[in-house]
Chain A
Amino acid sequence: MKITVVFIGSLINKMRFSEKDYILPDNSTLKTIIEKLGLEDYKKNRKLILRNGKPIKEDDLLNDGDRIVISHIYSGG
């Protein structure tokens, strides 16, 4: 399946891309992609992950076409 990962904020500079497609095996979860990206510390570093604009847990299965957005935890300035 194909999923799209989008970075917002300073992670773009760290990861060196803002949007990329990944082909993953079936039964992949959010944890699969977090490990692939090396972002296990995302909560500690105040990052938020949404799938198609909605919350997602680490063990949730990904679906073909999912858009995973990884951003700073914005708090309204």
Chain B
Amino acid sequence: MKGWLGNILRVNLTDKTFRKESFSEEFAKKWIGGRGFATKILYDELKPGIDPLGPENKFIVALGPISGIPAPNTGKAVVAAKSPLTGGYGDGNMGTYVSIHLRKAGYDILIVEGKADSPTCLYIKDDEVEFLPADEIWGKGTYDSQKWLYEKFGKQVGAMTIGQGGENLVKFAIVRSLEGRAGGRPGMGAVMGSKNLKAIVVKGTKDIPVADPEKMRKDGKEGMKEAYQTDKKIGWSKQATNGVLAWCNETNTLPVRNMRKTSHPDAWKIDGQRLDEARVATYGCPNCTFHCGITIHDSEKRESELDYENIGLLGASLEIFNLQDVGSLNYLCDDYGLDTISAGDVLAFYADAIDHGATEGDFKFGDAKRAIEILGMIAKREGVGDILADGSYRAALKFGNNSLDYAMQVKGMEISAYNCKFLPGMALAFGTSPIGAHHKESWVITYEISETPREAYSQQKVDKIIELQRIRGGLFEFIVSCRFPWVELGMDLNIYTKYFKDATGIDYTLDDFWKIADRIYSLMKLFWLREDPDWDRTRDYVPEVWFDPANADKEGPIAGKILEKDKYDEMLTLFYDARGWDDRGIPTMETIKRLDLEEEAKSLPEEAKLK
């Protein structure tokens, strides 16, 4: 087998053992890597109903056949587990040198099982594994933890760590790596914390065998050069992801005031131009030639690396229009190891719930000082922070008073920074995102606004959502590479079939990749169904407030416009039909057969039988 190492490192923290296992070429060709490997392994190895924060859950780092190989933006890793935030399959991808070092150590997959009896740092050096005490950094933030790791192991390693959020089992705690990299929105940091796993450090020194080394080197080098030159020409990284903030404000898609409003006159104060002007440094992921990590000094003069999602939710949605204050909230999320998207949505929900009398409290929109305090309470699970640490869905169930209607989440996971109260297609993209609302799966707003009638609930939009799910949530998540060369620079998708062939020798077409993407999406749905045999289509609905005419904009270009639930539901049916799923949103038997998932379907309980 070329491209893949063909090896899994399975570590048990309970009894401090490890073993090297191999996987077959058939497994590799069927699931490719990253999300594909993780979904299949978690589906096969986890018993339904297990506690995501118990020792039975497994934490996975999964790589792909081009991970770590010099080619555009391949320094990514997928982290995955059963999600404590949603109860379903959860994952995230992140830029990290673990990607390169784990492959150079000889592994495509790391599976961490059990629970250590004390804070532990897992150190993998080629074929050796050590379980080192991490008491010195337990209780510390990710910046101090990372510094400690670098002092102990040097900087020529791959390292992942969690902050106090993960230690205290905040359900939207993430895993951190490098200066500003984070991944695992559905609580992957909490899963590490539940295992007393403070950090993973990897040092690999071997070669990664590929089918055609010379061609891989040449194609990879050309791709990295093309990415660099294209970015220089079009200037994307000048404002990077936050360029979109001003555009969202213009198109009434910005999340303002817990997504009750779609634009704000002060939005310019936190837009891409202001971010670029405040820039003090720029960081990026391994093997990237157009770094997007624009870093500023926050209100305490600390370096804070910002992107649109952070600024949209910790800024606009909280009506905090001071970039340094947003920088401070972002810095603290990074240090505590909290997902900035969920943190912003949760804080906005809390302010909204107080505003609407659903609960009592002293937090108001625009209050950066109190937002900073509450973030700390969430990370340490103190006071109301203990409730908010469980995410907006569970907090809404506690607060009651119809507050669930405006908890901005789907399947328990908070919605990324796009206000879809009048964007039927993007709303459906969030609704059908298989891990809870996430922009990484499909993003159709430009298409929806510029190439279709915005108000349409159409097959055309459904087809675009699925096309992008196959690319973004499929290809880039299983081949494990950053989507930005394609999504932001417009590079040809066929470079990935080329790299795949260079690495593995296998001649897959994009259509082959789409089938694999569909297989993974369908297996994620089976994972949900096995957890909840009563699963129904309402789990793919977006929050009620987006259907509420009283929540329509009062003025501006989309005044009076709001999503219509019956039409959303009709479009959901179109989506299910196109995917070959039944009216619950579950793959039909015919689809199971077409996607070669018959073996997996056998483990479904009788009451959840397929149609």
The answer, yes or no, to whether A63 is at the interface (CB within 8 Å) is: no
Query: Which B residues are CB-close (under 8 A) to A54?
Result: 449, 454
Bin the interface of chain A by size. Answer: 20 to 34
The answer, yes or no, to whether B92 is at the interface (CB within 8 Å) is: no
- Cross-chain pair count, CB within 8 angstroms: 93
Stretch at the interface among A21-29, A32-40, A67-75: A67-75
**Please, how many residues of chain B have a CB less than 8 angstroms from a CB on the other chain?**
37
CA distance A72 to B512 in the complex (A): 31
Find out whether the CB atom of B446 lies under 8 angstroms from the CB atom of A53: no
Find out whether the CB atom of B236 lies under 8 angstroms from the CB atom of A10: yes
The answer, yes or no, to whether A12 is at the interface (CB within 8 Å) is: yes
Find out whether the CB atom of A72 lies under 8 angstroms from the CB atom of B234: yes
Question: Using an 8 Å CB-CB cutoff, how does the interface string of A28-69 with B read, 1 for contact, 0 for none?
Answer: 000000000000000001101010111100000000000101
CA distance A3 to B271 in the complex (A): 23
The answer, yes or no, to whether A20 is at the interface (CB within 8 Å) is: no
Find out whether the CB atom of A55 lies under 8 angstroms from the CB atom of B243: no
CA distance A46 to B449 in the complex (A): 16
Query: Which A residues are CB-close (under 8 A) to B238?
Result: 9-10, 13
Q: How far is the CB of A75 from chain B (nearest CB, A)?
A: 4
Query: Which A residues are CB-close (under 8 A) to B450?
Result: 48, 50, 55
Find out whether the CB atom of B250 lies under 8 angstroms from the CB atom of A77: no
Find out whether the CB atom of B250 lies under 8 angstroms from the CB atom of A8: yes
Q: Which of B153-199 contact A (CB under 8 A)?
A: none
A6, closest chain B residue (CB): B250
Q: How far is the CB of B28 from chain A (nearest CB, A)?
A: 29
Of A10, A13, A18, A50, the residue contacting B449 (CB under 8 A) is A50
B273, closest chain A residue (CB): A12
Query: Which A residues are CB-close (under 8 A) to B243?
Result: 8-10, 71-72, 74
CA distance A18 to B443 in the complex (A): 26
Find out whether the CB atom of B446 lies under 8 angstroms from the CB atom of A75: yes
Find out whether the CB atom of B272 lies under 8 angstroms from the CB atom of A8: yes
B233, closest chain A residue (CB): A45
Q: How far is the CB of B228 from chain A (nearest CB, A)?
A: 15
Query: Which A residues are CB-close (under 8 A) to B271?
Result: 8
Query: Which B residues are CB-close (under 8 A) to A10?
Result: 234-236, 238-239, 243
Q: How far is the CB of A66 from chain B (nearest CB, A)?
A: 12
Query: Which B residues are CB-close (under 8 A) to A6?
Result: 250
Q: How far is the CB of B448 from chain A (nearest CB, A)?
A: 11
Find out whether the CB atom of B451 lies under 8 angstroms from the CB atom of A55: yes
The answer, yes or no, to whether A11 is at the interface (CB within 8 Å) is: yes
Q: How far is the CB of A26 from chain B (nearest CB, A)?
A: 24
**Contact of A11 with B235 at beta-carbon distance under 8 Å, contacts A50-B449, A75-B488, A76-B443 already known:** yes
B309, closest chain A residue (CB): A77
Query: Which A residues are CB-close (under 8 A) to B451?
Result: 55
The answer, yes or no, to whether B458 is at the interface (CB within 8 Å) is: no
CA distance A38 to B454 in the complex (A): 29
CA distance A24 to B372 in the complex (A): 49
The answer, yes or no, to whether A14 is at the interface (CB within 8 Å) is: yes
CA distance A53 to B223 in the complex (A): 35
The answer, yes or no, to whether B604 is at the interface (CB within 8 Å) is: no
B556, closest chain A residue (CB): A53
CA distance A52 to B446 in the complex (A): 14
Query: Which A residues are CB-close (under 8 A) to B558?
Result: 53
Question: Using an 8 Å CB-CB cutoff, how does the interface string of B210-249 with A read, 1 for contact, 0 for none?
Answer: 0000000000000000000000011110110101101100
**The 6 A-B residue pairs with the shortest CB-CB distance in the complex, in nearest-first order:** A76-B443, A10-B235, A10-B238, A9-B243, A77-B241, A75-B487
- 9 A-B residue contacts at CB 8 Å? A9-B246, A10-B235, A69-B247, A71-B246, A71-B250, A75-B446, A75-B488, A77-B244, A77-B439
Given contacts A9-B239, A53-B558, A69-B250, 4 further A-B contacts (CB under 8 A): A71-B246, A74-B243, A74-B446, A75-B488
Write the residues of chain B forming the contact surface with A, with a CB cutoff of 8 angstroms: 233-236, 238-239, 241, 243-244, 246-247, 250-252, 271-273, 307-309, 418, 439, 443-446, 449-451, 454, 484, 487-490, 557-558
